Amino acid sequence: MMDIARDLKVSVVTVSKVLRNQGRISDATRKRVLQHAKKLNYQMNWVARSLVTRRTYTIGLLLPEFAHPFFAEIARAVAHTVRPHGYHVMISSFEEDPELETSEVDCLLARQVDGLIIASAQPLRCLDMFERVQQRKIPYVLIDRPVEGLRACFVGVDNLAIGRLATEHLIARGCSRIGHLRGPEMGIAVDRLEGYRCALARSGLRVLPSYIVAGGHGDATGYEGMRKMLKTPPVPDGVFCYNDLVAIGAMRAILEAGLKLPDDIALVGAGNVQYCDVLAVPLTTVDQGTCRIGVLAAELLIARISSKRPMRPKTILIPPRLVERESTRR
């Protein structure tokens, strides 16, 4: 910075403000400083900066898996949101393994991240990991999966409404034997199942246990779950799937069985992942505001990091939106 200041005959403070994108500096001066910094191949010393500011300007993002389109979209939204604030994102995947999640959190804390965004897989009433984070006074925001008994910031979708909205849509399309490929044993899957049950009860339709089958959270488990459901007489005429990947697997099983979508079975997923509209039978789904979750979680975390006072936990629930496509258009 001293070299740039001397060469351009400006103060070191001016150079520092330009390189940190702070302060009121004229466009002409800012352009000259940035051009000269590039010429000298200037790289900020983040270690030195963290010693002065007591921040590393890094955020840890913990996701159950990288490959799932839902979490990939969230990661992209978080990175785009924090970048203008001078932050970088360290992304870690724990493969739905609570022990690995705990280990990855400890590693990120050891690297002195300024905050965490977590889609947690911790079991019910297991709060040890979060207590350690709180003891370190590291701000964090939960996304997608609330943790029962934990007072923490949360950004996600109303999962009860997802189940209700998807099932009501199938009922409106004339379905009377509606099945559900439920998700893994976690809070959001329980809420979507409850929304499904509420919608059936409100319409006077029976909730049949044989029509509620484990569908997991991927296309392979959705395929196996749908094959099992198709062995239940009479075959359902509508199915609400825990998420879009489960629905894609279910769609394959339905077509392999020689049945037609949506004439024989109408199908609804959840998530509105990017390729749902280009499937052989474009999938009706419930949009859960994936990008919005990432943006709001990142903004909330930046606000908590920047705040000089403790902030009360805040919950943001995004209302879901039905996106109708050919899989339910009878």
DSSP code per residue over 99-154: HHHHHHHHHHHHTT-SEEEE---PPTT--HHHHHHHHTT--EEEESS--TT---EE
Task: Tell me the average pLDDT across 21-30.
Answer: 86
Q: Which of 156, 162, 158, 161 is nearest to 270 (CA)?
A: 162
Q: Dihedral angle at the C-alpha atoms of 51, 52, 55, 56, nearest 10 degrees?
A: -50
Mean pLDDT across the stretch 258-276? 94
Among 94-98, 166-170, 235-239, 254-258, name the one with the lowest average pLDDT: 94-98
13 and 7 in contact (C-beta within 8 Å)?
no
Q: In angstroms, rounded to a whole number, what is the distance separating the alpha carbons of residues 23 and 282?
A: 50
Phi, psi of 30 (to 5 degrees): -60, -45
Q: Which residues have a Cβ under 8 Å from the Cβ of 67 and sit 6 or more positions away?
A: none
Rounded (5°) CA angle 306-312-316: 90
Average pLDDT, the chain: 92
17-31, 34-48, 59-73, 87-101, range with the lowest pLDDT: 34-48
Percent of the chain scored above 90 by pLDDT?
75
Which residues, other chains included, contact 317 with Cβ-Cβ below 8 Å and sequence gap of 6+? 156, 157, 158
121-135, 167-181, 298-312: which has the highest mean pLDDT?
A: 167-181
Query: 36-84: per-residue pLDDT in tens?
Result: 988 888 776 655 555 555 678 999 999 998 888 899 999 999 999 999 9
Per-residue pLDDT at 274 exceeds 90: no
Q: How far apart are the first and last CA of the chain?
A: 67
| CA dihedral angle for residue 170, residue 176, residue 181, residue 186, rounded to 10 degrees | 80
4 within 8 A of 41, measured Cβ to Cβ: no
Q: Residue 20 — very low, low, confident or very high, per pLDDT cuts 50/70/90?
A: confident
pLDDT at residue 202, rounded to an integer = 96
What is the per-residue pLDDT for 308?
A: 84
